[in-house]
Structure 1
Amino acid sequence: MPRDPEPPGRVHVRRADAVDLDALLALETRVFRSDLISRAQYRRHIDSDSALVLVATQTGTLLGSVVVFFRRGSRNARLYSLASAPEARGRGVGAALLRAAEQAARQRRCRGMRLEVRSSNRAAQRLYETRGYARGGVHRGYYEDGADALRYAKALD
């Protein structure tokens, strides 16, 4: 089924589908050095009822993605990954994806969103903090390369 045309110049956020796999993998390898999501994992997440993969596009170009997990019986969603293409940074892509992820969590009746972010990723920390996320603890050695993660959470109701 053809997609609806995007408004020119605006960042458009939509649910990812299998057609996006190549672009998602390319973005993943451009943005992250470790803890990469594989093609099989993306495929599973795209088809899963307990995960949501959203993409941000502009004039047909994929500029960012977000992966959110929903656990049965939990009132908290988990923002697993948020990626913004280097050339799209500072253009509101991350904020648009975060807003859409929060809205999806609210629609699923989640009361909160939790996430981990690399302790060295100051830009992401600023994004989360300006969107109302509170920093919690530190998870030492969280990432594959041994880097620490900071925990953040936000009430959605």
Structure 2
Amino acid sequence: MTGALIRPATRADLDALVALEAGFAEEDRFDRRTWRRLLGGRTGALVHESGGQIDASAVLLFRQGSDIARLYSIAVAAGARGTGLGARLLSACEDAARQHSARALRLEVRVTNKSAHRLYETAGYRVIAALESYYPDGEAAHRMEKVLIAPSDGAT
């Protein structure tokens, strides 16, 4: 992907982020107001830009006093799916979480989203909880986690 990069999202990306998610089910996308809040808050929003176009995004949440970061969403444009972009964006999210001193990264994923499950399992995530009726439409989710920084055993 010539001219492709993953970078922090800015408020200037607002229109492109809303457009990226326009084709998603309403319960699976952020509206403009939510994106404004996310871009100004304690998040680590990232975008993948190729040829001047944003074709993927991710949102990380960091809670003060917590060493666990949360991957809130990854969105990849339909035309960019199946190219490995999700894996590259996930890796960038893990790097960003480490930079925020996160010990682990957690996420929730629809039980029926088999491609996302494959992505996360291949990257080393494991299911730590089943969440019944997690989504607004009543679908269950799996909470998954990957340890990013191994706990110290006290040895030097």
**TM-score for both structures, normalised by structure 2:** 0.90
Residue 28 of structure 1, aligned match among 18, 21, 29: 21
Give me the CA root mean square deviation.
Answer: 1.3
Residue 107 of structure 1, aligned match among 77, 82, 99: 99
CA positional deviation for 1:134? 0.6
Maintained 8 Å contact 1:16/1:46: yes
CA positional deviation for 1:29? 2.2
Q: Give the unaligned 5+ runs of structure 2.
A: 150-156
Name the SS of the counterpart of 1:71 in structure 2.
Answer: coil
**TM-score for both structures, normalised by structure 1:** 0.89
Amino acid at match of 1:24: L
Q: Give the unaligned 5+ runs of structure 1.
A: 1-7
Name the stretch that deviates more: 126-135 or 89-98: 89-98
Give the Cα–Cα distance (whole angstroms) in 2 for the partners of residues 32 and 130 of structure 1.
26
Name the SS of the counterpart of 2:109 in structure 1.
Answer: strand
Residue in 1 aligned with 2:43?
Answer: 51
Maintained 8 Å contact 1:31/1:84: no
Residue in 2 aligned with 1:85?
Answer: 77
Percent of residue pairs bearing the same amino acid type: 45
Aligned length: 149
Give the Cα–Cα distance (whole angstroms) in 1 for the partners of residues 4 and 80 of structure 2.
10
Give the Cα–Cα distance (whole angstroms) in 2 for the partners of residues 10 and 32 of structure 1.
30
Give the Cα–Cα distance (whole angstroms) in 1 for the partners of residues 84 and 52 of structure 2.
16
Seen in structure 2, the aligned counterparts of structure 1 residues 42 and 77 have a Cα distance that, compared at 3 Å, is: same
